[in-house]
Structure 1
Amino acid sequence: MHSILSINLPKAHTLLLHPSSSSLFSLHLNPNLNTIILHTQLSTHHHQALYQTMDDKEEVESSSRSRWDGYVDWRGKPALRGTHGGITPAFFVLVVEVLENLAYLASASNLVLYLTHYMHFSPSESANAVTNFMGTAFLLALLGGFFSDAFLTTYRIYLISAATEFLGLVILTVQAQSASLKPPKCDNARPDIPCQQVHGAKAALLFLGLYLVALGVGGIKGSLPAHGAEQFDEDTPQGRKQRSTFFNYFVFALSCGALIAVTLVVWIEDNMGWQWGFGVSTLIILLSVPIFLGGSTFYRNKVPLGSPLTTICKVLIASVLNTFTPRSSSNAIASMATSPSPNPLSEEIDAEDNIKVSESCESPSDSLNFPNRAVVRKPGYAMLKCSVQQVEEVKTVVRILPIFACTIVLNCCLAQLSTFSVQQAATMNTKLGSLNVPPASLPVFPVVFIMILAPLYDHVIIPFARRVTKSEMGISHLQRIGIGLVLSIIAMAVAAVVEVKRKRVATNSGLLDSTKPLPVTFLWIAFQYLFLGSADLFTLAGLLEFFFTEAPFSMRSLATSLSFASLAMGYYLSTVIVSIVNGVTGGSRHKPWLSGSNLNDYHLDRFYWLLCSLSGLNFMQYLFWATRYKYRSTQNKS
């Protein structure tokens, strides 16, 4: 069987051939037609082998098309389309998040009472310890996100973090159960003798347990949201819509866990003992692990691509060096790495390669020109060589940081829900009919609001917005965050007005110096909870999706964890603002706004108006950055 293949050649080219009669292929040059005639002398067996090879190639290409690029299954094998990813594994993630947040908040929401009554901390020391514990847990989400992107998959980070949180809860449970591991009880018959505060090895055991829990919570918060979002195909409109729905229901799952924590588990802690409360949290986080493992065969896990911080540092260092290094010096430094003996042929090849590379690579974008200096010239050191893609990734990180910073003030306002708002309600009539609602259960209000609004937003508001705007998203990420910021402004204004009303009732009733409940229902406080709960839903879900969508592929987990880092910084900022306000307003003739024998001595309405003003200024700053932000999809199209 013979086959002929013709290859055109320029006339200037010549070809010397030595065909062999025993070879399967023979080449013949036709000088008149300037072609090579390739005669193949293949047997039927050889043709079948060739066809088999072609079939194998097609099978490999088909197999490649059926795989998820950049993803593996739980065994480390390539993830397959139709087998891995989708709604089913995301559902496992949502169920696990309900349990994880339940276990965490069951310990954290009532922790201040445990430290005060059983570990004999002072009220201020208890509040600071709880604030530091919760703030650290959320900040450690950055660590969990970093390790998920750099070294391990989100799948493994969750399992390691759950085991760490479980260990911390076991330590807290054992200490709560054993009297020998706690300080001695206070002697109520001798009030003149102060209670002995926990110290030494017992204090070390307490903080070891707390911060192991914080480390585990941080790892989970830094990996689980990104793990769930990775299950959807972002290359299809349906996949992107499903991912948006996932983030809405992720906030819904957080609220479900919080609702059970601040009601059922808090009741168990108050009525059955803290060893039962910590024990329930321990069992819940343990239960979450087999549920998470139940989705293993469905998960697709993003392959870690190395440290994102290394890329950021490399680009910034290269940009700085190229800024302060003269061009002649740069060329001299670069030439030191080359061979001292020039080779004309190698120089010609290098020149041709450089032309090909420059033609094939895209030039960096014009915005944020400083990082572009990392690629404008050849670096003096090979380790500082940067690609245009790396430069653009660093630019993306720089662009999202102002958006992140603008949400810290919002979370500072949210911190008031667990501090002054609870104290306000404690001075009011907390009865609902025959039911007496404890002030510590007031976080139920924003939680319930979020649980109602999340499905309503996803199934009513968003479809309506898509029909009106005729866009895939309906409401963009930045618009959603902006709505949350506006709602936080309204919430602080409402809180200030409610506080004015509460103090007016106290004045008219002659109860300014009394600890008796005021003749006004605590449901007035529900209005600020309504607006702040709505703000939390819009902003948190919007932030999670914004950071995940806009961040470079190699930094998604780290970027998503910024949402929780913003929450931690908001708590810390609240403490700083309270200290500054008291320092500025307190003088020889005036009392600080936030001090006194009871809440009626506070100027809490002024503090709320201050937060309202700060939120307004923060929103103006947000508009400045948001209106100038360009989504990555828009940049790619342009």
Structure 2
Amino acid sequence: MENGQEQERWVGYVDWRNRPAFRGKHGGMFAASFVLVVEVMENLAFLANASNLVTYLMGFMHFSPSHSATTVTNFMGTAFLLALLGGFLSDAFFTTYVVYLVSALIEFLGLVILTIQAKSPSLKPPACEPSSPSRAAGPCEAVSGAEAAMLFGGLYLTALGVGGIKGSLPAHGAEQFDEGSPRGRAARSTFFNYFVFCLSCGGLAAVTFVVWVEDNKGWEWGFGISTIAILLSIPVFLAGSRLYRNKLPTGSPLTLIAKVLVAAALNCRTTQPPSNAIVDRPLSPENRTETNDHKQEERENGDHKNTTISYAPSEELKFLNRAAQNLPRHLPLACTAEEVEEVKVVLKILPIFLSTIMLNCCLAQLSTFSVEQAATMDTRVGRLTVPPASLPIFPVTFIMILAPVYDHIVLPFARRVTKTEVGITHLQRIGTGLVLSIVSMAIAALVEVKRKNVAQNAGLVDSLEPLPISFFWIALQYLFLGSADLFTLAGLLEFFFSEAPARMRSLATALSWASLAMGYYLSSVLVSIVNSATGRGSHWPWLKGSNLNHYRLERFYWLMCVLSSLNYLFYLFWALRYKYRRGGVRG
């Protein structure tokens, strides 16, 4: 009986009490479904504040518009960048199970601080005194001192918690599936599709219901809803504890990467072959790749206890093979061929990561210039006036519709046509998202031309009055960018998780969120560069002033379209050369 149980164990995985995890008892879609429910509540808590935070900072903390926008950008960028920390801790020291719980408690604490401050007038700067014919406007000073410390403390505790959750939760859900079977990999693909779907469900509730509460009932209620949502997510997550299989941490992946790179550099002058290479029989590149992939698959799924297969160094990034030369003077840097191959995988996925930053720069426009465009237009739908902060309802609704259609209709059809397990490869999905982002920027430029023509014809170029044009025109660019987000984010999450070595999967998955953060930062940098380049001499900068009708926003969108096209060529260069860890299919 003990031998039978031993064969059913998930080697390298434990349950929530750090006892061995077993096949049939731990993992699977039912276990991952708890993660999907948690993602709805987690993203609601995050986006409910992020999408409308600029209003709170301007109206109650008395920040200037530019200071408010910068603060929100920094907050969101920091939250997404901290996903790398969450992923690193999950791989190196703790399980994703533990990292999520600690991160959720940290975010809860940050939201409690923000809720208390929003509720207490004494913890906010005094309200601005209205001006009158006999008296000038009273002081309207921005928050400072202890109140500012409380504000930023709450914001960045929340950002730290969000980063930890983003870096651990997707990987925790994906770890529930059997890597060694086609059925398990297909189920994992479905999980990532529905992960983006649930992320959009939380976003939809945030930008509709919670934004309405913040604008009409008070920000203490908005922060309170977010606080309750993240608090309730903890018992929901814990409810699946008996079903989870949790991957044991295997040490710092960054240390391994650094060790291999340094060892390869120090051994650059030697010609000795790696001591653990397969030398008893010649291997073609195809056989070599197949051997390595088989070894990796067995190791990740606990089927390797009786195997003696050795790693053979691949021909890709051949200079790193020297790191496996165990020279006496560099014994502390001794590397196995397996470790070298793992670092090669990480280096090969980095160009794909870099090529998605431009797409996320386009996505950043959804919360900046696109909102400002809509604010100048007619936002009425019948008797209802839609607040600009609720405009993301278009992309999230489209994602909620497209995600199930893609998983249940498009993907099965693609599998029948291509007669392959994946149907549409990860890199094809990412590439589709990049193309859609190019189209969205072209549409955004054309819509802006139409909007300014309406302003010109109506004689409202110098006015701040709403223009006689429906904000539904803006929905076009939202829909294309929302589609791009679905294809790219789901594709990236699955690509990084499935391609990265087992010991680095949480950190690699976190690269998807880091790309989003860098996209936000790049957007701010581009605006500064464009204004600096176009504002020389007597020329007025394209993106400066208090009236959007005076902007050259359409030119900025065309610039984004050109840069996105160049970025797509960069992506194609690397994607066409990329060889998947299994099967060797090209992107």
Do both share a fold (TM > 0.5)?
A: yes
Give 1:142's match in structure 2, choosing from 81, 84, 100. 84
TM-score by length of 1: 0.85
CA offsets per residue over residues 314-336 of structure 1, 9 Å max, x none?
10111111125x68xx9xxxxxx
- The Cα of 1:427 is off from its aligned counterpart by 1.1
Q: Which secondary structure does the structure 2 equivalent of 1:101 belong to?
A: helix
1:397 aligns with 2:335: no
The secondary structure found in structure 1 opposite 2:542 is coil
1:497-551 CA deviation, whole Å, 9 max, x = no partner? 1111111111111111111211111111111011000000000000000000000
- Decide which of 316, 329, 332 is 2:261's aligned counterpart: 316
Q: Is the 8 A contact 1:410 1:615 kept in 2?
A: yes
| Matched residue, 1:213 | 158
* Residue in structure 2 matching 1:168, options 110, 116, 130: 110
Q: Indicate the residue corresponding to 1:605 in structure 2.
A: 554
Amino acid at match of 2:43: N
1:235-250 mapped onto 2 (5 Å cutoff)? 235-250=180-195
CA contact (8 A) 1:490 1:612 kept: yes
1:494 to 443, 454, 459: 443
Q: Which residue of 2 aligns with 1:267?
A: 212
Question: Could you tell me which residue of structure 1 aligns to residue 174 of structure 2?
Answer: 229
The reply to whether residue 305 of structure 1 matches residue 282 of structure 2 is: no
* Unpaired runs of at least 5, structure 1: 1-58, 331-353
Partner residue, 1:255: 200
Q: Distance in 2 between matches of 1:192 and 1:437?
A: 31
Deviations 1:325-379 (A, max 9, x none): x68xx9xxxxxxxxxxxxxxxxxxxxxxx79986574331111012111113525
* Alpha-carbon distance in structure 2 between the residues aligned to 1:242 and 1:544: 14
Q: 1:91 aligns with which of 20, 33, 50?
A: 33
Deviation string 1:163-182 (CA, Å, 9 cap, x unpaired) is: 00001011111111111211
**2:411 — aligned with what?**
462
Q: Per-residue CA shift, 1:85-136, capped at 9, x if unaligned?
A: 0111111000000000001111211111111111111110010001000000
CA distance, structure 2, for counterparts of residue 440 and residue 137 of structure 1: 20
User: For residues 556-602 of structure 1, what are the alpha-carbon distances to aligned partners after superposition, in whole Å with 9 as ceiling and x for unaligned?
Assistant: 00000000000000000000000000000002221101112301100
> Is 1:373 the counterpart of 2:322 in the alignment?
yes
2:147 maps to what in 1? 202
How far apart in 2 are the matches of 1:260 and 1:91? 19
Q: Who is 1:471 aligned against?
A: 420
2:529 is the alignment partner of 1:580: yes
**Alignment check: 8 A CA contact 2:378 2:470 kept:** yes
Is the Cα contact below 8 Å between 1:157 and 1:223 reproduced in 2? yes
Instruction: Encode CA deviations 1:428-463: one digit per residue, 9 max, x unaligned.
Output: 111112222121211110010100100011111101
**Counterpart in the other structure of 2:363:** 414
Whichever residue aligns with residue 258 of structure 1, its letter is: G
Question: Secondary structure at the residue paired with 1:499?
Answer: helix
Q: Is this contact kept in 1: 2:81–2:517, CA < 8 A?
A: yes
> Partners in 2 of 1:145 and 1:607 — Cα distance?
35
1:132 — aligned with what?
Answer: 74
1:234-267 residue CA offsets vs partner (Å, 9 max, x unmatched): 1111111110000000000110000001111111
Q: What SS class does the counterpart of residue 329 from structure 2 fall into?
A: coil
Write the letter of the residue equivalent to 2:40: V
* Per-residue deviation, 1:386: 0.2
Q: Which residue of 1 is the match for residue 490 of structure 2? A: 541
CA distance in 2: counterparts of 1:175 and 1:427, whole angstroms: 32
Structure 2 CA distance for partners of 1:379 and 1:631, relative to 1, 3 Å? farther
Distance 1:95 1:258 in 2: 13
State the SS of the aligned residue for 1:96: helix
* SS of structure 2 residue aligned to 1:71: strand
Partner deviation per Cα, 1:459-493 (whole Å, 9 max, x = no partner): 11101111111111110000000000000000000
| Deviation of the 1:634 alpha carbon | 3.0
Q: 2:119, 2:277 → 1: CA distance?
A: 71
Partner of residue 477, structure 2: 528
Q: Corresponding residue for 2:295?
A: none
Greater displacement, 393-402 / 191-200: 191-200
SS of residue matched to 1:392: helix
Which residue number corresponds to residue 554 of structure 1? Answer: 503
Is residue 566 of structure 2 the alignment partner of residue 621 of structure 1? no
Structure 1 CA distance for aligned equivalents of residues 230 and 383 of structure 2: 35
**Which region of structure 1 is more displaced relative to structure 2, 186-195 or 59-68?**
186-195
The separation in 1 between residues aligned to 2:277 and 2:107, in whole angstroms, is: 53
Give unpaired runs (5+ residues) of structure 2: 281-308
Q: TM-score normalized by structure 2?
A: 0.92
State how many pairs are aligned.
553
1:514 maps to which residue?
A: 463
CA pair 249-191 structure 1, distance change in 2 beyond 3 A: farther
Q: How does 1:68-79 map to 2 (within 5 A)?
A: 68-79=10-21
CA distance in 2, matches of 1:366, 1:379: 25
What is the alpha-carbon distance in structure 2 between the residues aligned to residue 541 and residue 191 of structure 1? Answer: 55
- Closer, same or farther: CA 615–634 of 1 in aligned 2, 3 Å: same
Contact 1:104/1:217 (8 A) holds in 2? yes
> Given that residues 318 and 379 in structure 1 are in contact (C-alpha distance below 8 angstroms), is that contact kept between their aligned partners in structure 2?
no
Which of these residues, 307, 311, 315, is aligned with residue 362 of structure 1? Answer: 311
* Counterpart secondary structure, 1:69: strand
Q: Establish whether residue 101 from structure 1 lines up as the match of residue 48 from structure 2.
A: no
Map of 1:446 onto structure 2: 395
For the residues of structure 1 that align with 2:502 and 2:530, how far apart are their CA atoms? 42
Q: Partners in 2 of 1:393 and 1:259 — Cα distance?
A: 39
SS in 2 for 1:70: strand
- Structure 1 residue 61: deviation in Å? 2.8
Residues in 2 aligned to 1:558 and 1:377: alpha-carbon distance in whole angstroms: 28
C-alpha distance in structure 1 between counterparts of 2:310 and 2:192, whole Å:
35
Matched residues in 2 for 1:242 and 1:416: separation? 33
Contact 1:72 1:302 in 2 (8 A): yes
| Aligned-partner SS, 2:583 | helix
Identical columns (%): 68
Q: Which has the higher contact order (CA 8 A, sep 6+)?
A: 2
Counterpart residue type for residue 533 of structure 2: V
Quote the residue 1:112 is aligned against: 54
Note the aligned Cα RMSD (angstroms): 1.7
Q: CA deviation at 1:154?
A: 0.2
SS in structure 2 at match of 1:633: coil
CA contact 1:96–1:288 (8 Å) conserved in 2: yes
Counterpart of 2:93?
151
Query: Separation in 2 of the partners of 1:355 and 1:114?
Result: 61
Structure 2 residue aligned with 1:66: 8
| Structure 1 pair 154–191 and aligned structure 2 pair: CA distance change class (3 A) | farther
Please point out which of 237, 240, 247 is paired with 1:292: 237
